[in-house]
Structure 1
Amino acid sequence: MAKVHPNTVISEALAPTPEACGESAVLTVWRKSLLFNCSGFTVFDAKGNLVYRVDNYVSGSRGEVLLMDAAGKPLLTLRRKRLSLGDRWLVYEGEEAANPRFSVKKHLGFLHSKALAHVAPCAPAGARQRAFEVEGSYSRRCCAVYDDRRRRLAEIRTKEAVGGVGFGVDVFRLVVEPGFDSAVAMAVVLLLDQMFSS
């Protein structure tokens, strides 16, 4: 059987910083928790070090997801917005419940559109946050995040083992371009999973 990740040592390093080296960060996302008998996500960097994890995926409420770093420190909390039309989520810093960073809305296109979701900043107008559009097919693990100038910021791709054997949809790559926060890119993955997984 092909290995999902090359290292088994859990690293306490923080998220990869592609802007520090000017290269894209390639993360391996595994749709499985490291905790026994619990579902979630485990994310490794290119060296096989644990970067992110989601262990509280089945906490009894599908309306909240917590993205943590390798050491278990809460990075972002994703909460479903109640009493809203369509599927709308708010993304908060850490475990906060006030002042969301982003609002994410599932695209409800009746026409044939590539759009999956729209990510809008919730910060005051003077802040340097941008809006994003997510396009493609999450079910096929083939989608990308674009900014308002149509520059690709992150991309979800299928992952193949060395011998050409596929891992299926539970193991895939998340490629994050320099300058884009990999934690935000992973939050988008979690939201797509909430919106489009059966």
Structure 2
Amino acid sequence: MAQPSSHTRPTPPPNADSSPVPIIGPQFCSPYHVDLVIMRNVLSLRDGSFVVTDVNGNILFSVKGKLISLHHNRVLLDGADNPLVTIRRKIISLHKKWYVFRGESRDFKDHLFTVGKSSVVQLMKTLDVYLASNTKEDFCDFRVKGNWLERACVVYAGESSTTVAQMHKKLSVGDKGRFMVTVYPNIDYAFIVALIVILDAIHDDHDDD
């Protein structure tokens, strides 16, 4: 499990929920802040991939892409290369919603959550996240706001101002392919990594347009 670090981080809001919020798995819910280092296109020849480590350089997650497909699949793996979730989107989709399934499943009985733009006309300023149990989608369970290119995105609990994860810019001069994400206590950090995979995939889609 990832360990806390001394890296400067935001102070959690006073109304933050202290109960664990497992989405992909309870083993990914730490009682401490977790700092994740994202390394884009490093240590891997997989398409559309990156590696996620803790601050000590231990690999926690990696991503393999299946870009030559009708669904633009990506698979999030743990540090032992076990598939955690499959992320997929149909090419023909007005709102470009991304569906996340447990393991390598594509069956909706294994559906965990869905991510889509708050508005079809906006330029990816806000993404809404709906857990599988939220079938009506009258409200979002999480919301992502910010600028992906600037690595300045924040994940909020629902439509509130409660921060659950926050990106930081590159770690130092010359680290253009690396940035850090701080995940707040008791939030599933594998889930947060899956959201980052989707943000990266959306950016790749824009490059292809």
Give me the TM-score of the superposition, normalised by structure 1: 0.76
- Superposed counterparts of 1:36-51, under 5 Å: 36=45, 38-51=47-60
After superposition, the Cα gap between the structure-2 partners of 1:46 and 1:101, relative to the gap in structure 1 and judged at 3 Å, is same
Q: Distance in 1 between matches of 2:117 and 2:93?
A: 11
Q: Distance in 2 between matches of 1:30 and 1:188?
A: 15
Could you say what the CA RMSD is over the residues aligned between the two structures, in angstroms?
Answer: 2.6
How many residues of Structure 1 are paired with residues of Structure 2 in the alignment? 173
After superposition, the Cα gap between the structure-2 partners of 1:48 and 1:58, relative to the gap in structure 1 and judged at 3 Å, is same
- Superposed counterparts of 1:1-198, under 5 Å: 17=28, 19=30, 22-36=31-45, 38-54=47-63, 56-57=64-65, 59-61=67-69, 63-81=72-90, 83-99=92-108, 100-108=111-119, 110=121, 115-123=125-133, 131-148=141-158, 149-161=160-172, 165-168=173-176, 170-197=177-204, 198=207
Unaligned runs of 5+ residues in structure 1 are 1-13
What's the offset of the Cα at 1:82? 5.2
Q: Distance in 2 between matches of 1:109 and 1:138?
A: 17
Q: Distance in 1 between matches of 2:93 and 2:47?
A: 29
Q: Distance in 2 between matches of 1:107 and 1:124?
A: 16
AA matched with 1:60: I
SS at match of 1:178: coil
Give me the TM-score of the superposition, normalised by structure 2: 0.73
Q: Which runs of 4+ in 1 moved over 6 A?
A: none
SS at match of 2:44: coil
SS at match of 1:101: strand
Seq. identity, %: 28
Unaligned runs of 5+ residues in structure 2 are 1-24
Q: Distance in 2 between matches of 1:26 and 1:139?
A: 20
| Matched-pair contact (CA < 8 Å) for 2:66–2:72 | no
After superposition, the Cα gap between the structure-2 partners of 1:77 and 1:190, relative to the gap in structure 1 and judged at 3 Å, is same
Q: Distance in 1 between matches of 2:57 and 2:26?
A: 13
